Structure 1
Amino acid sequence: MKLLLTTCLLASLTLSWSATHPYPYVNTFERDILRLAKAAHIKAYMSEGEPQPCDNFYNFACGNWPRLHPSKLYNKRTNYLDELQELFVRKSADMLKAATSNSDSSADRLIKNFYNTCNAEANNTSSALSTLLEVTDFRGGWPEIRVPSWYSYEYDWLLVVANLKRKLGVDILIGLEVVPDYKEGHLHRLKVGAPKLPLGHRRQYMDAAYYGTRVRYERNIAEKLHNYFPDQSDLWCNEVASQILEIEQQLAKGLPHNAALTMEQTTRERTPFELKAAYGSFVDVSRYLRQIFNDTLYADLYETPEDYLSNLMDVIRTTPKLHLANYTIWRALDTFDQARIPSGVQPSIWCVQMVRKYFPQQLENLFHRNYNNMQMINELQSTWTDIRRVFREDLQASPNLHWLSLDTRQKAINKLDKLELKFRTHDESELIRQLYGLRVNEGHFYPNLVNVLQWSTKRQLAKLVEEPQLTDKVYKLPHYELETNKMQIPITFLQARFFWDSNYPQALKFGTLGVLLARQMLHGFDDVGRRYDRNGYRNNWWDSTSETSFAERAQCFQEQYAVFVQFQEKPVTDKGLQSRVVADNGALSIAYRAYIQWLNNSPESGIDYRGERLPLLDHTPHQLFFLAYGQLYCNDYPDTLEAFDEIPEQLRVNTALSNSEKFIEAFSCPVGAKLNARFKCQMF
């Protein structure tokens, strides 16, 4: 335990020191401290038990992670890459706390005001409730709360939910969203149908296996109602909570039985008038849209899922209006309640997440100006050059890619040569323009939240007449964009001393940044990426021989991973399995070979590679590479997890390593070891 505490303390030095010293110009003493801290950081996660690297490398590298970052504290998965996001959040909190200065733009001042009022008032229950009741018209008020008597004929549910959508952006009973047209990617289209229900899919509301989940959900609603309305009886709180769950269970009957179906598989095109004819006055979609857009819409829209609105018609017809009123107003109140700071979460951290939710680009811009690190940009570019060079050499002459025809190889080289890194940058004048008309004052949080919700909703709905922009999406990891043939690098990746620093061994850089870049690169050359050419246009540039050979090799991976239909007694339902495992295995191979090329050409070539070793760790440079790779995937899952949407990290790491001859050589894995697979799969 003493060793663990010491290593954790040393590990924390890396992050705290880099926050105050973003540039890596250090003396020899500081260099030794940084290397010691990084070694302690790595060692802290490694298992203190018996697993051997050749039997279970994931446990060898990450065995202590669940003790240091237990998921049960947060009731959600914890993983190593989220540490990078947490570092970004902590630095952002420091920025937003700082007093405004003359150098701050109007966008900077706005998000700082929003952050500071969140810090001060996000847990003010009375302010949340009074603000909600002031800015919304519930047509008679909340029964039992604002008026002593309530008349059902006064309640127009469709008008109420339309106004709440327009003012607060909340989808109640009817879901409405502007989405890219999946047939014509340069257009947006309205999608109308099911809202996102709090418990998720149909099975959570209907299956007996989730009875306990529903009981906890209903109890949680009753507790929140009592918190907002302490003068109301427990009976009233419990009755309203029961009504809310009952309505959502009825709504869930209109959701698909198979939650894995895509939007295209559950969608049909309809005009507003066709919907009017189908559902009449019970669910008058034309009137609903007219209330929101203040205009009559004629364009085709997507109805999804197909059975939801017809089921909603039955729900409206059979549910007492009093219950609908209670449900409608509860969903509005719950929108405000979700802005409250959760128990156990630091207000400063939570409020950064609130800023990031509504102003991601403005926060990124402020962060980039405060923590701009040109060395990290240069290192990413340098690492990318090394990764691309190795793959290009493979395409030119490697016998490992003999399964690709010469013509297809040349087209792949042409596409690779045009593939570039794209660092997220923002036009500050455009960011300021986006905030035009939005008022965020230094006063109370919840009035500010209402202004932000109205502004955000208006911006989202206005996209209906705009062309889809790839920059609308913010990714936490490097992401390959099929439509542009570029790789988007998030701002968070430009933080020094997380993946790599000039004082660390290069093995760590190639085992982390190198792997992540190579993995995304390969998505441009797999069974999906081959359908997009070097300019990002839909154009299948593979010949039939190469396609057949790819399918044959992919079958090896499918058979190898087919046993992973369950892990820790929970199902694995990874819909992107093939693409993921092909990229995992190929990226590991390419990144390692890029590292070996660097090692062979390094100034230390021919001696003992002292710079490629770390104190506290008795590992060769080659072993350090695989250790860095394995710890990329350290994680812990909560007991409440129902299924693995992606193949669990332990299986990803161990299986990819079992296909790597270089890993087996680095750790001298004997024949028969669990990670020395007899039959090895290979694609790239």
Structure 2
Amino acid sequence: MDLSKQLLVGVALLTLAWSTTGAYPAANNYTTDILRLAKAAHIKAYLSTGEPRPCENFYNFACGNWPRLHPARLHNKKTNYLEELQELFVRKSADMLKSSKTSADSSADRVLKRFYVSCHAQANDTRSALEALLQVTDFRGGWPEIRVPSWYYYEYDWLQAVAMLKRRLGVNIFIGLDVVLDYKEENMHRLKIGAPQLPLGQRRQYLDSAFHEARERYEEAIRQKLEGYFPQQSERWQHEVAAQVLQIEQQLAKGLPHNPALTLEQTTRLRTAAEMKAAYGSYVDVSRYLQMIYNDTLYVDLYETPEDYMSNLVDVIRNTPKLHLANYTIWRALDTLDQARVPLNAQPGIWCVQLVRQYFPQHLESLFHRNFNNMQMINELQSTWADIKRVFREDLQASTNLHWLTLETRQKAIAKLEALELQFRNHDDTQLIRQMHGLNLHQDQFYANLVKVLQWRTQRHLAKLVEEPRLTDKVYKVPHYELTTNKMQIPITFLQARFFWDPVYPNALKYGTIGVLLARQMLHGFDDVGRRYDRHGYRNNWWDLTSETSYLRRAQCFQEQYAVFVQFRDKPVQDKGLLSRIVADNGALSIAYRAYSKWLRNSAETSATYQRERLPLLEHTENELFFLAYAQLYCSDYPESVELYEELPEPFRVNTALSNSEQFAQAFSCSKSDKLNARFKCALY
């Protein structure tokens, strides 16, 4: 069998091993040799076929074949290695959701399965989507030749129409309304009102001449959708309505910020509903709008953002014919339901899992966890976490490694580290069932189900205004450090078998992946942001002035080193969290590698141990495997449509961190003149 066939067989075997259902199985169904061969083939499949020198561009060496195997252009979105973990979760979830009902299913589980089955059967039924919309809207106006035989301008109340659609479908039309965390008081919510998210995005997409072709494509896409829903209507009508949609959104975009780089805080002001009513009058009556949303008069301060949007909206409402406003309103509502249609390049089963995950993230996690409970992976994470903490604790205790921190600050850092614990995602199933109470779905009525789900989700989201924030509201794909609790949250998807680690794999892979990811998040508790929160999660800067000054001086080395990365593929790089990311990337690589080295030294030093730390097909030492696993965590491909990179692209992140690693240079015998063996190495942790 030639090498290419070996690779195909190996990847197929690994995919089969990943897809094994049930609780984490021992390797009794697959021989150790086959599993190790499959993992080796998986690693080798991404290695560059052009054989670039590791010490010149290790990212290309480790990930050179990724774009060919996972091209971003096919999906018009970024592809990366960690997304494979999410795809594995989705495939398993599809099998789980389409399985017949079992006696162990809760009422919440049955809701998920009905929604999934109805989606799989009816998601592309345009007639059902239109019928569901017309049942929920109760319009007196908008597309009169379709809805009613006559239409009277004076009967149409645009504000009432958009408020009703916000309540029933959660769609923001003309006015964006959301419940967000208070920027200053993180233990409370606040209403944010202002600009909705427009389909094309920012101001320049609607108004700059450079995006003229993109606007033409958008207008044609609207016309084609209208043709699909209303084939009996003339092409002229379709063009007219599509043009009205684009024209209205262009007028709305005039109220968006000129500078898209401004933060939400920079474009927001605090006002009461009464103040906004006084400012915008009856054209955009904010008090009345909120009263219709909440069925009550609200006496609360609101975040208005951006500051110029609502005054511009007054002009739009005043100058736009009511028929156009009605057409736009019903189009946005229809487009909301149309978003559930299965795209041409998607598999219906996979797409429907994504919808279940979008609307019921916690419920799906709970069902997944009960079907794929993985205690061995949890134990391995705990063990690896203990090793990572031990290395960092020893650094903090030693007077040499982190001498730039004063003794007092190091002692406080040790106390914070000791209090930092892993928190595995789990849910109160009783509470989840209670949340679903009254949500009755039918497995043969997808769009009717979707309307019910959208209304259920919207009401729950709006009710957060009077609730305290909960960490379970957010679902992360990889481990995430929470500043305000000093806890590391481990998502359910992260606990899947044979992706990062298996008992038959070399431990180099575990430390190069799980170890690095845990160490990265841990260090966010000790960087320029984390130092402002103490071990209890309270805002309290626990660093003294000497330590802060030393940190900034050493961080300057990184900032100068990374300052050259202002463009990637002729597109700008604007990473607002660059310093925090740099510190985490470089420190995590060092800590995880030293944790692996300690494990290796403490293991029985026999030829069998070192043999187990190698893989077939790969002529790499155990140390080289560690760095390969690390680099392949970041294998990525970007579509040409990317306008700017909001995070430092992966090639820069991987290569620059490795250039600061003396251990990497030793593992690959890099010479002093090699690009990834920086003469002056930056270091913090």
TM-score class, shorter-chain normalisation, is over 0.9
SS of residue paired to 2:31: helix
One-letter code of the match for 1:17?
Answer: A
* Shift in Å, 1:188: 1.1
Structure 1, gaps ≥5 residues long: none
Counterpart-to-counterpart distance in 2, 1:289 and 1:80: 44
Which position in structure 2 is the counterpart of 1:614? 615
* Shift in Å, 1:2: 6.3
Counterpart-to-counterpart distance in 2, 1:304 and 1:466: 22
Tell whether the 8 Å contact from 1:554 to 1:683 is kept in structure 2 after alignment.
yes
Query: Root-mean-square deviation (CA), in Å?
Result: 1.4
One-letter code of the match for 2:16?
Answer: S
SS of residue paired to 1:104: coil
| 1:588-646 CA-partner distances (Å, limit 9, x unpaired) | 00000000000111124577700000000000000000000000000111111111110
* Shift in Å, 1:399: 1.8
Q: Does 1:328 align with 2:338?
A: no
Tell whether the 8 Å contact from 2:52 to 2:60 is kept in structure 1 after alignment.
yes
| 1:381-401 CA-partner distances (Å, limit 9, x unpaired) | 000000000000000005231
* Shift in Å, 1:214: 1.3
Which position in structure 1 is the counterpart of 2:49? 48
Which position in structure 2 is the counterpart of 1:244? 245
Q: Report 1:271-670 matches (<5 A).
A: 271-397=272-398, 399-605=400-606, 609-670=610-671
* Shift in Å, 1:155: 1.4
Equivalent residues, number: 684
Counterpart-to-counterpart distance in 2, 1:504 and 1:512: 12
Of residues 346-355 and 316-325 in structure 1, the stretch that sits farther from structure 2 once superposed is 316-325
* Shift in Å, 1:576: 0.5
Q: Does 1:218 align with 2:213?
A: no
Tell whether the 8 Å contact from 1:518 to 1:587 is kept in structure 2 after alignment.
yes
Q: Report 1:668-683 matches (<5 A).
A: 668-683=669-684
One-letter code of the match for 1:374?
Answer: M
Which position in structure 1 is the counterpart of 2:147? 146
Counterpart-to-counterpart distance in 1, 2:4 and 2:155: 65
Of residues 284-293 and 514-523 in structure 1, the stretch that sits farther from structure 2 once superposed is 284-293
One-letter code of the match for 1:620?
Answer: T
Which position in structure 1 is the counterpart of 2:99? 98
* Shift in Å, 1:532: 0.3
Q: Report 1:5-44 matches (<5 A).
A: 5-20=5-20, 22-27=23-28, 30-44=31-45
* Shift in Å, 1:20: 2.3
Structure-2 change in CA distance of 1:131 and 1:32 (3 Å): same
One-letter code of the match for 2:13?
Answer: L
* Shift in Å, 1:209: 2.1
Structure-2 change in CA distance of 1:4 and 1:322 (3 Å): farther
One-letter code of the match for 2:535?
Answer: R
Counterpart-to-counterpart distance in 1, 2:285 and 2:2: 67
SS of residue paired to 1:192: strand
Q: Report 1:117-156 matches (<5 A).
A: 117-156=118-157
Structure-2 change in CA distance of 1:294 and 1:658 (3 Å): same
SS of residue paired to 1:401: coil
Of residues 537-546 and 596-605 in structure 1, the stretch that sits farther from structure 2 once superposed is 596-605
* Shift in Å, 1:143: 3.0
* Shift in Å, 1:272: 0.9
Q: Does 1:111 align with 2:112?
A: yes
Structure-2 change in CA distance of 1:507 and 1:210 (3 Å): same
One-letter code of the match for 1:154?
Answer: E
Counterpart-to-counterpart distance in 1, 2:595 and 2:466: 46
TM-score with structure 1 setting the length:
0.98
Of residues 409-418 and 18-27 in structure 1, the stretch that sits farther from structure 2 once superposed is 18-27
Tell whether the 8 Å contact from 1:78 to 1:637 is kept in structure 2 after alignment.
yes
Counterpart-to-counterpart distance in 2, 1:29 and 1:230: 55
SS of residue paired to 1:442: coil
SS of residue paired to 1:590: helix
Counterpart-to-counterpart distance in 2, 1:670 and 1:644: 32
Tell whether the 8 Å contact from 2:124 to 2:341 is kept in structure 1 after alignment.
yes
Q: Does 1:202 align with 2:213?
A: no
Of residues 25-34 and 371-380 in structure 1, the stretch that sits farther from structure 2 once superposed is 25-34
Counterpart-to-counterpart distance in 2, 1:9 and 1:305: 54
Which position in structure 1 is the counterpart of 2:232? 231
Counterpart-to-counterpart distance in 2, 1:2 and 1:243: 60
Of residues 533-542 and 669-678 in structure 1, the stretch that sits farther from structure 2 once superposed is 669-678
* Shift in Å, 1:674: 1.2
Counterpart-to-counterpart distance in 1, 2:666 and 2:235: 67
Counterpart-to-counterpart distance in 1, 2:196 and 2:334: 16
Counterpart-to-counterpart distance in 2, 1:405 and 1:169: 52
TM-score with structure 2 setting the length:
0.98
Counterpart-to-counterpart distance in 2, 1:165 and 1:130: 18
Counterpart-to-counterpart distance in 2, 1:527 and 1:449: 44
* Shift in Å, 1:27: 4.9
Counterpart-to-counterpart distance in 1, 2:451 and 2:554: 54
One-letter code of the match for 2:407?
Answer: L
Which consecutive aligned stretches of 4+ in structure 1 deviate over 4 angstroms post-superposition? 605-608
One-letter code of the match for 1:482?
Answer: L
Tell whether the 8 Å contact from 1:52 to 1:60 is kept in structure 2 after alignment.
yes
Of residues 122-131 and 673-682 in structure 1, the stretch that sits farther from structure 2 once superposed is 673-682
Counterpart-to-counterpart distance in 2, 1:20 and 1:188: 42
Tell whether the 8 Å contact from 1:143 to 1:326 is kept in structure 2 after alignment.
no
Counterpart-to-counterpart distance in 2, 1:5 and 1:190: 58
Structure-2 change in CA distance of 1:88 and 1:263 (3 Å): same
Tell whether the 8 Å contact from 2:24 to 2:372 is kept in structure 1 after alignment.
no
| 1:170-206 CA-partner distances (Å, limit 9, x unpaired) | 0000000111111211211111101111111112112
Counterpart-to-counterpart distance in 2, 1:486 and 1:3: 45
* Shift in Å, 1:141: 4.4
* Shift in Å, 1:408: 0.2
Structure-2 change in CA distance of 1:659 and 1:23 (3 Å): same
| 1:442-501 CA-partner distances (Å, limit 9, x unpaired) | 221000001101100100011111011111000001000000000000000110100000
Counterpart-to-counterpart distance in 2, 1:18 and 1:167: 40
Which position in structure 2 is the counterpart of 1:179? 180
Tell whether the 8 Å contact from 1:422 to 1:487 is kept in structure 2 after alignment.
yes
Of residues 233-242 and 604-613 in structure 1, the stretch that sits farther from structure 2 once superposed is 604-613
* Shift in Å, 1:23: 3.1
One-letter code of the match for 2:11?
Answer: A
Tell whether the 8 Å contact from 1:599 to 1:605 is kept in structure 2 after alignment.
no
One-letter code of the match for 2:602?
Answer: N
* Shift in Å, 1:268: 1.1
One-letter code of the match for 2:563?
Answer: A
Structure-2 change in CA distance of 1:254 and 1:605 (3 Å): farther
One-letter code of the match for 2:387?
Answer: D
One-letter code of the match for 1:353?
Answer: Q
Tell whether the 8 Å contact from 2:121 to 2:444 is kept in structure 1 after alignment.
no
Counterpart-to-counterpart distance in 2, 1:35 and 1:223: 50
| 1:505-539 CA-partner distances (Å, limit 9, x unpaired) | 00000000000000000000000000000000000
Tell whether the 8 Å contact from 1:24 to 1:502 is kept in structure 2 after alignment.
no
One-letter code of the match for 1:6?
Answer: Q
Structure-2 change in CA distance of 1:217 and 1:2 (3 Å): farther
Percent pairwise identity = 72
Tell whether the 8 Å contact from 2:142 to 2:323 is kept in structure 1 after alignment.
no
Counterpart-to-counterpart distance in 2, 1:625 and 1:203: 44
| 1:99-126 CA-partner distances (Å, limit 9, x unpaired) | 0011110011110000000000000000
Counterpart-to-counterpart distance in 2, 1:51 and 1:144: 65
* Shift in Å, 1:358: 0.7
One-letter code of the match for 1:447?
Answer: A
Q: Does 1:78 align with 2:82?
A: no
